[in-house]
Amino acid sequence: MFISTHPHFFNNTTMSIQANLNEVLATLPSHVQLVAVSKFHPIEALQEAYDAGQRIFGESKVQEMTQKYEALPKDIAWHFIGHLQTNKIKYMAPYVAMIHGVDSFKLLSEINKQAAKVNRCIPCLLQIHIAQEETKFGFTFDECREMLGQGEWKELTNISISGVMGMATNTDDEEQIKKEFQSLSDFFNEIKQEFFSDNESFKEISMGMSDDYPFAIEAGSTLIRVGSKIFGERIY
């Protein structure tokens, strides 16, 4: 059993991380990868998932992710899934494997600038607003079409746009959730055809969390971001 003294961690479970992880992995088709969302959980929890074979972790705060990056083995792929602040990009630029939540050209070009300084090309996902809730970040479909249509992103050689990311409405209405995931999948296909048809790295659809990832996979997700189902509940 996993015991933690981390202040944000609320350990109300006796499940093992390894068993939870295997339960999620057992249901994944081979074209779908798991981002284990470890935000607010302590190093020991991530180490347990690592020891069980997990290599992709998702974090939502740059400072927290950097501390974990420094403490844990270097073959981990760190995915940043939080809301981006321009002044924090430089701290993760040297090591981040993918940035999921990019929702403006300004952010793309800032990531590009910081990536250039460390001689890297950072894979980024365009975050699209697909949910009904107003609080979520992201481009609308039209804002994203417009940004891509302007074409300036093609000059950013230190980022690669690797796909799209979205979050469904937090609701029990399964039809609503399925509809939203399908809309992101359709949008991915649309912009793939229009802007990325000769670009093999544009291939990811990041959607699906603990409560809805089976629907996301049905709709074509290639990256699911699952936290509480693996690590237990968190308070934030």
Q: Which residues bind ligand PLP (CB under 6 A)?
A: 37, 39, 60, 81, 167, 209-211, 225-229
- Give the shortest CB-126-to-ligand PLP separation in angstroms: 14
Nearest Cα neighbor of 196 from 126, 143, 98, 115 is 126
Closest CB to ligand PLP among residues 100, 195:
100
- CA gap 63, 117 in Å, rounded: 19
Closest CB to ligand PLP among residues 55, 113:
55
222: which DSSP letter? S
Token couple for 101: 């939540």
Query: Under a CB-based contact definition with an 8 Å cutoff, are residues 4 and 44 in contact?
Result: yes
Closest CB to ligand PLP among residues 57, 202:
57
- CA gap 51, 232 in Å, rounded: 17
Residue nearest to ligand PLP (CB): 227
- Give the shortest CB-214-to-ligand PLP separation in angstroms: 12
Nearest Cα neighbor of 151 from 161, 138, 164 is 161
Query: Under a CB-based contact definition with an 8 Å cutoff, are residues 12 and 228 in contact?
Result: no
Closest CB to ligand PLP among residues 68, 229:
229
Closest CB to ligand PLP among residues 191, 209:
209
- Give the shortest CB-153-to-ligand PLP separation in angstroms: 22
Other C-beta atoms within 10 Å of 159: how many?
24
- Give the shortest CB-151-to-ligand PLP separation in angstroms: 28
- Give the shortest CB-34-to-ligand PLP separation in angstroms: 11
- Give the shortest CB-18-to-ligand PLP separation in angstroms: 17
The label of the residue with tokens 């793939």 reads 192
Largest CA distance in the chain: 53
Closest CB to ligand PLP among residues 76, 165:
165
> Which residues touch 209 (CB under 8 Å, ≥6 apart)?
37, 167, 216, 224, 225, 226, 227
